[in-house]
Amino acid sequence: MSTLPPSRVLGVMRLKDHDVRVTAQTAYGYGSFLASTSEPDCKTRAATMKIRAAACWCLVSPARAPAVFSEASQLYEELGHPFAITVAICAGEQKLPLVESRQSTAPEDQAYRALWLAWSVASGKKAATATPATPPHDRDWFPAGQLEIPVRLYLDFSRDVRLAIRHTDPRRLVRSLPQLLQRGTEPVKMAMTDQYHWQRLMTGVMPVEPELLAIGRIAHRTLGSWDESTLTNLGIPPNSIERMPLWIARMLEKPPDSVGPPSGPGGRPRPSVPTDQDAAMGVDPGSTARRRPSAS
């Protein structure tokens, strides 16, 4: 059950260590600058930049990523947007972000609530009670989030996580997990076909999408002691993009000591602040970032 080295993960993602590090440093610096302003639009863009930085750190220095995800989640929480929930899972947080309850059946609301329930159960914070199967409603097939994954896939995954934990049977994920990963990685695979822009991290797709990483972190804790054969038996293709969220989830749970940054207030890792030289080497991260959820 060895952890894959970041270099192998980069190989599967067809990215280069140097380019990813430069983008991480530049995006974090730009995000910190935007976060220091009082304009709501700037705060939204700051959260996007922090996510972009954290997504890159996942691939080259995993220990740096959780703290940056946590900063992004706090920004979305301040904006009152439920996307804060998904990003909080990426950060490994155990406290539900205090976002306004819209008490709606909007796709994003349903999807993120389902992910948080699964995360809580997989983390041992909530009893894994079985829930009766309910017939799918038409709205359950609406796409949710940036990856436009149907809500029903999130609901099925959340249910199977609870069953897997309750019955101590990881095979309960055999139906929902591969389907969810396959659907969620479609935009990533499409972006990778444009090799020129993908390798320069100049596409609208993050190198590690928050929704995919959240799924990976939940699955990692649900599966327990898993290896590559476990994933093969679940129907997840070998050496594939679909495995990437679980590989990174494992690195985030036990990141190599050599990449850990100094501790900040409260014992949390302190993200690296880019130097002038780092910023000079990178492109403007704002020129390629896609639009993230707003507070409206």
In a domain, 1, yes or no: no
The contacts of residue 229 (CB under 8 Å, 6+ apart) are none
- In the predicted model, what is the mean pLDDT of residues 217-231? 96
Instruction: Give residue 268's pLDDT.
Output: 37
Instruction: Give residue 271's pLDDT.
Output: 42
> What is this structure's pTM?
0.83
- Return the C-alpha torsion angle 179, 180, 185, 187, nearest 10: 100
The model's confidence at residue 137, banded by pLDDT at 50, 70 and 90, is low
The model's confidence at residue 6, banded by pLDDT at 50, 70 and 90, is confident
In a domain, 177, yes or no: yes
In a domain, 244, yes or no: yes
Percent of the chain at pLDDT > 90 equals 67
In a domain, 169, yes or no: yes
Instruction: Give residue 50's pLDDT.
Output: 97
Mean pLDDT for the chain overall: 83
Neighbours of 190 (CB within 10 A): 12
- 225-257 tens-digit pLDDT: 999 999 999 999 999 999 999 999 999 987 544
In a domain, 295, yes or no: no
In a domain, 294, yes or no: no
Instruction: Give residue 259's pLDDT.
Output: 38
Print the domain residue range for 141.
6-97+104-287
The model's confidence at residue 283, banded by pLDDT at 50, 70 and 90, is very low
- 171-183 tens-digit pLDDT: 999 999 999 999 9
- 22-81 tens-digit pLDDT: 999 999 999 999 999 878 789 999 999 999 999 999 999 999 999 999 999 999 999 889
In a domain, 296, yes or no: no
Instruction: Give residue 276's pLDDT.
Output: 37
Helix 17-35 to helix 65-79 angle (10° resolution) is 30
The contacts of residue 170 (CB under 8 Å, 6+ apart) are 164, 222, 223, 224, 226, 230, 234
Position 291 pLDDT exceeds 80: no
Position 292 pLDDT exceeds 80: no
Higher pLDDT, 158 or 5: 158
In a domain, 44, yes or no: yes
Position 117 pLDDT exceeds 70: yes
Higher pLDDT, 246 or 284: 246
- 153-165 tens-digit pLDDT: 999 999 999 999 9
The model's confidence at residue 287, banded by pLDDT at 50, 70 and 90, is very low
What's the structural domain count of the chain? 1
Instruction: Give residue 279's pLDDT.
Output: 37
